[in-house]
């Protein structure tokens, strides 16, 4: 028993260390879903052309807006930190109301905004804002870029008509790996 008393604290220490190490290892190995999505959102800025009137000034920031719940945490900020697109510095804004979406070049619509989606899209009517969402079926509902997960891999579903209607040009390269859909009108 005395031996148990002497060994037990040591075993506990080892178990603690191992656990810590395993967690650390898991975090380094596989980036999280939103880490990837943050990079994807950033990457969109390279494959999509915005019309010049989308910016009021040459040094106006390129704004990525996050409407609703923010699933990225700080990941989005880390991804875009220090980046520029055509001398437009990138900035991330977290938006709470539809009224704030006017200045965004990319607008991520969180899962919490499913119900208000038609209003949001209506509010963005004909503005050159690339809408991105990971709501299922959001592309058919008029969102330009929809993330969907397939075999643990993130895929894109793109509503080209919506983007064209917003005056945005999506690179054909982006279209290749994506699934192209059209806006499904309500019955």
When asked if residue 99 is in the footprint of another protein (CB under 8 A), the reply is no
Backbone angles phi, psi at 71, to 5 degrees: -80, -10
When asked if residue 40 is in the footprint of another protein (CB under 8 A), the reply is yes
Count Cβ atoms below 10 Å from residue 95 Cβ, excluding itself.
23
Largest Cα span, the chain: 80
When asked if residue 6 is in the footprint of another protein (CB under 8 A), the reply is no
When asked if residue 67 is in the footprint of another protein (CB under 8 A), the reply is no
When asked if residue 91 is in the footprint of another protein (CB under 8 A), the reply is no
Residue (of 33, 70, 46) closest to 155 by Cα position: 33
- Enumerate residues 100-139 that contact another protein by CB under 8 A: none
When asked if residue 148 is in the footprint of another protein (CB under 8 A), the reply is no
SS (H, E, C) 22-39: HHHHHHHHCCCHHHHHHH
Total number of residues that touch another protein (CB under 8 A): 16
Residues that bind another protein (CB under 8 A): 36, 40, 43, 46-47, 153-156, 171, 173-178
């Amino acid at each position: 028993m005395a031996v148990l008393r002497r060994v037990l604290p040591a075993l506990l220490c080892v178990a603690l260390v191992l656990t810590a190490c395993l967690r650390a290892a898991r975090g380094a190995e596989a980036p999280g879903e939103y880490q990837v999505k943050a990079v994807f959102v950033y990457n969109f800025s390279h494959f999509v052309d915005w019309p010049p009137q989308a910016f009021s000034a040459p040094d106006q920031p390129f704004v990525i807006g996050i409407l609703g719940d923010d699933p990225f945490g700080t990941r989005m900020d880390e991804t875009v930190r220090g980046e520029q697109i055509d001398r437009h510095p990138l900035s991330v804004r977290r938006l709470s109301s539809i009224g704030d979406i006017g200045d965004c070049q990319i607008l991520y619509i969180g899962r919490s905004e499913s119900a208000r989606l038609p209003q949001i899209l209506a509010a963005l009517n004909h503005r050159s804002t690339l809408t991105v969402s990971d709501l299922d079926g959001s592309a058919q509902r008029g969102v330009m870029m929809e993330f969907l997960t397939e075999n643990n891999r993130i895929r894109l579903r793109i509503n080209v008509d919506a983007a064209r209607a917003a005056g945005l040009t999506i690179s054909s390269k982006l279209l290749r790996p994506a699934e192209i859909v059209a806006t499904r009108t309500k019955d």
